[in-house]
Amino acid sequence: MAGDHGGPGDHGGRYGGFGPADVLSHAQLLREGERAAGALARLGVRAGDPLPVLLPMCLESVVVTLACVRLSVLRVSLTLGTHPRLLRERIRGSGARVVVTADSCQADGRAIGVKAALDRALTGCPEVETVLVVPQLARPVPWHPGRDRWWHEALAAGTLPPRPYPGQMDNDSRPGRPQPDPLRGLVFDDPLERGSSDDSDQGWGEVPPEDPGSADVARFLHEKPPHHL
């Protein structure tokens, strides 16, 4: 039976969701996409499945998109303010079993009950098994136990393998492994004092020591670059 679920005070802060002023680095955003993909996979979402999403512009919407790309899932974007009958047709037509939505959101200076509108649409969608609710506003939200789950709790239920240390591309930085000295490969001599690797003589215009008289012709023929051509 549906009932009102408590506001943010019952879950600490904003239920663990992102705030409007939150900023994620590229690496953090990708990490959240991995966590979201894991949560969707645990709920049975597989490649090729549709995933209806009824969200305002927020970080979680980007994270959902990254998760869909990772799982090869088709994101079905639903528009806020759409009549419940039209939402029902989109969701039923997609055949989705999991839907992502927000609890509420601010639009034109007023609060919109996004989850409440979705619940009215889902009365004709018995195939939907799970609704993931992204926290946005500190307001009570209608709740269907057994079907509805908080977004952040679903993501926190799984674990990801640790990332390698930032900046390392291999396993040579493991503790206890001897590291090469980067200064040993540096050469500080003057490169102009060494002969070129493609020089057949000792340098441009230098006279071979064995025959100074006939060396001019040989040097003229074999000089690099061939200035006489």
Domain borders along the chain are 3-7+10-156, 196-229
Q: Give CA–CA dist 58/124, Å, rounded.
A: 28
Q: Are 174 and 192 in contact (CB under 8 A)?
A: no
> How is domain 3-7+10-156 classified at the CATH fold level?
Rossmann fold (3.40.50)
Nearest to 73 by CA among 56, 102, 95: 95
- pLDDT tens across 179-209, in order? 666 666 666 677 677 666 655 555 455 555 5
**What mean pLDDT do residues 17-40 have?**
85
pLDDT of residue 165: 46
**What mean pLDDT do residues 83-91 have?**
94
Q: Are 126 and 78 in contact (CB under 8 A)?
A: no
Give me the amino acid identity at 11.
H
pLDDT above 90 as % of the chain: 48
Task: Find tokens 């040579």 and name the residue.
Answer: 172
pLDDT of residue 30: 92
Q: Of the ranges 22-36, 50-64, 196-210, 212-226, which one carries the lowest mean pLDDT score? A: 196-210
Q: Are 51 and 100 in contact (CB under 8 A)?
A: yes
Output the average pLDDT for the chain.
79
Q: Give CA–CA dist 95/125, Å, rounded.
A: 9
> pTM of the entire structure?
0.65
Torsion of CA 149, 154, 156, 157, to 10 degrees: 110
pLDDT of residue 159: 76
What secondary structure letter does DSSP report for 202? S
pLDDT of residue 106: 84
Asked whether residue 45 carries a pLDDT value surpassing 70, the answer given is: yes
Q: Give CA–CA dist 9/177, Å, rounded.
A: 49
Helices (H) and strands (E) in the chain, counts: 6, 9
